[in-house]
Amino acid sequence: MSDPTERYERSTTRSRELFEEARAYMPGGDTREVTYHSPYPTFVEEASGTTLTTADGEELLDFLNNYTAAVLGHAPEPVVEAVAERFARGSGIAAPTR
């Protein structure tokens, strides 16, 4: 059986590339120190419902849900529609709004 780190590195070459690129812009290449793991974190391309799709094409069940901020899952249609409707009328307005 091969070393777990070696298996991870073989199966996550795109995440490694993205991590190296991120290191050019962010100290340590990662903004989420609490979820960082060696030798580099897995990069996620998209999320829908309870599924994360990594940059390497793996689908993962999201147990963190952004630490409860995504309690409804990622991109649930009613939330996407409500946010799109609000943003179509402006966002970050520096005055009271309804």
The predicted-structure confidence for 11-38, as pLDDT tens digits, reads as follows 999 999 999 999 999 888 887 777 788 8
What's the rounded Cα separation, in Å, for the pair 49 and 60? 11
Could you tell me the two tokens for 79? 């939330």
What's the rounded Cα separation, in Å, for the pair 74 and 52? 9
| Across 31-59, average pLDDT | 89
Could you tell me the two tokens for 43? 């990069």
- pLDDT tens for 62-86 read 888 777 777 788 889 998 999 999 8
Could you tell me the two tokens for 62? 């999201």
Q: Shortest CA distance to 6 belongs to which of 38, 32, 29?
A: 38
**Burial of 18: CB neighbours in 10 Å, binned 0-12, 13-18, 19+:** buried
